[in-house]
Structure 1
């Protein structure tokens, strides 16, 4: 049995050893695998997955994906003839493969962000299920290699809400995709636990008295808050329903901070806030679409042929055409992930320094920018306000104030976020957990409890 954090930014696996959860080192990835996948062609993902599935699963999968597998075979033949690799890559290697040739292949970051998207067509849902299954298959293989035995029971973390709109329908859709993918790759028993609750379980192991804990999990795709009654007595129970005092959650997380930082910090150098020759501002919609890497519709619109023609006209009409040419380069070479990744790496760098130099000379020769913490805080004002509303809502629902605030999630490493949280809870102790590992550890504890 394992605890499985299939996260928006990273994936991790935990097992119980000597009564305590341990996060596994998974091959060259270490304890955390970036939630990314790269395929030389989108059409070959289904073929790669088919080969990796347990033998018992292959016939049913083949009958369900006959057309896609045939299409993938054609794509594979073309790749071989052209001398391209045919394997998928994951984690940091996926990012490296994408950055080598951004306009070739198929790269996806944080597929979890899309699972609750409204209006998914059946073929889109099938594609995401196959992407998730491919990532889970890779992680399951690495886990079993590390442990030297098979694993077939898991507890997977889930946010309170996968999507803000049509909440319950989105949640149902996302859970169905995750369940189908997990069972397809060989997990026989699959359960889910709210990610902030799981993080709370890990913190609970350190408590000696009954405590009201507000867990604030600022993850890659969502921020989730849970007010929990915790302590030694509660930890012994298999039914924690009465201890879960309130929940709140919204799709605002590290990806949104990265996008906001890219939009406000980088896009002005690509023409955002500049002017047309007629004295009117440049339309901002294309900049937002370019950076919205977690929105299928926006990315489709940005990379459409119609938008390419629109941007070419903007270049002709702009007071500073050299800036708009950079946006056109992003469009023509599919560089949205490249720009948002630059903002993300700057955000991470600003954890230990107050300024970061961003080199974008691969987009335009000599282009480099200075980004700083103050600019990051201003860029993310909307996201910080949304987190404030979630924490306030969780406290109001619980009808009580927390004794302690337990904070986890990779985004919470930022000094800007730390200062923001301390301003919100000036008279309440704040405990900072393992930014990346608390959820996995809690999921592992819960798996051990329900499957033992």
Structure 2
């Protein structure tokens, strides 16, 4: 029997296996050990997950794409239903279908049934709501049991990442683990030592945990609202003096979990009415096309890809020809920093609290271990690094450190 660690992420999911030998990440889509947390329900046939789900949507297949599934945990949406083809499914069932497929693919890689799992969880599913946080964990655990896990437990995601990092060290050190993912940013201060790795109880080595519900999808949203949505009329005036286009429509269009609520027919009619009242109807016509043609998820994917290109190359051009021939928006790194800088500051602001809880000064931290996709953003890295300026910066496996660490923990708990 093989124990496993499941890192169900807002943007990507991994599954770590711990049988004989070293922990390893299961191949979940072809040779890839990461699976985008996306599911596509076609009009006919079985749902698709991961890259196949997003490809089906981009290729224009008729159906429903859902992404950032983890973001509904801890919200009232988890108890609601959503239209999928000719039926309505609860969000619990949607998450269950996705995770059941992850489990099945993990079992294919392991060569046997997976019955024991350590589930990764953010330090806070929900900011400032202890009851909501506990509820989110309970729901995730319930879904895991429903899909066939007989034994399960939880571990904080940054603690899991620290277990992966610990395999690299030779001495003892204090490490700040920064896991900046798609939906949350989490920090742990951990005493790291190879000699401690086999201990059954590591509680004394965990000095502090902190987190905030800010992640990569929030950066996408802010970038979309600031740089893309104005081309669709966001912030533009109506003919009646003192009135402008309603903000809510644009906020929903820029937010993964809210895009589908625009496709109800009523919203399209409202936008066409606003187009007649708009001072710049040509801009609002683009918004109407985005909603009527159900281009919202495609726009969100394009904004995310543009953010990554800006992070890597410093600038990019976002092609919006699907809404109007020749339409595009240029985005530079300065734009990304200007419109998402406050998010980076909010993330880094949790480090001071983490240090205070541990009773440490910034100079006491020996190493800063970075994992999670949003650590690729230079201004996020800079904001975090400035909080512990003397620490060595260690690059973890961007998407795999948490899953690997959860596998290590699964081996310890269930091996």
> Secondary structure of 2:386's match?
helix
Change (3 A) 1:400 1:126: farther
Aligned to 1:446: 409
After superposition, where does 1:424-443 map in structure 2 within 5 Å?
424-443=387-406
The 4+ residue runs of structure 1 with deviation greater than 6 A are none
Aligned to 2:171: 209
Aligned to 1:329: 289
Residue in structure 1 matching 2:71, options 92, 104, 113:
113
Aligned to 1:418: 381
Deviation at 1:18, TM superposition (A): 6.1
Aligned to 1:161: 124
Matched, 1:268 2:242: no
Consecutive unaligned residues in structure 2, runs of 5 or more: 83-87
Q: What is the alpha-carbon distance in structure 2 between the residues aligned to residue 177 and residue 377 of structure 1?
A: 36
Worse-superposed segment, 224-233 or 119-128: 119-128
> Secondary structure of 1:207's match?
coil
Change (3 A) 1:181 1:321: same
Q: Deviations over 1:79-121 (max 9, x none)?
A: xxxxxx311100111112223347x422110211101113654
Q: What is the alpha-carbon distance in structure 1 between the residues aligned to residue 161 and residue 233 of structure 2?
A: 42
Deviation at 1:232, TM superposition (A): 2.8
Q: What is the alpha-carbon distance in structure 2 between the residues aligned to residue 27 and residue 38 of structure 1?
A: 15
Change (3 A) 1:88 1:213: same
After superposition, where does 1:85-234 map in structure 2 within 5 Å?
85-101=44-60, 104-118=62-76, 120-121=78-79, 127-164=90-127, 167-234=129-196
Change (3 A) 1:92 1:120: closer
CA-based RMSD: 2.3
Consecutive unaligned residues in structure 1, runs of 5 or more: 42-84
Worse-superposed segment, 192-201 or 404-413: 404-413
CA contact (8 A) 2:68 2:256 kept: no
Q: What is the alpha-carbon distance in structure 1 between the residues aligned to residue 276 and residue 89 of structure 2?
A: 41
> Secondary structure of 2:187's match?
strand
Deviation at 1:341, TM superposition (A): 1.0
CA contact (8 A) 1:216 1:391 kept: no
Q: What is the alpha-carbon distance in structure 1 between the residues aligned to residue 60 and residue 132 of structure 2?
A: 34
Residue in structure 2 matching 1:23, options 11, 25, 47:
25
After superposition, where does 1:26-105 map in structure 2 within 5 Å?
26-28=28-30, 30-40=32-42, 85-101=44-60, 104-105=62-63
Q: Deviations over 1:406-440 (max 9, x none)?
A: 11101112233233333343332222211111101
CA contact (8 A) 2:120 2:154 kept: yes
Change (3 A) 1:183 1:283: closer
What TM-score does the superposition give when structure 1 sets the normalisation length? 0.83
Deviation at 1:304, TM superposition (A): 5.0
Change (3 A) 1:303 1:39: closer
> Secondary structure of 1:294's match?
helix
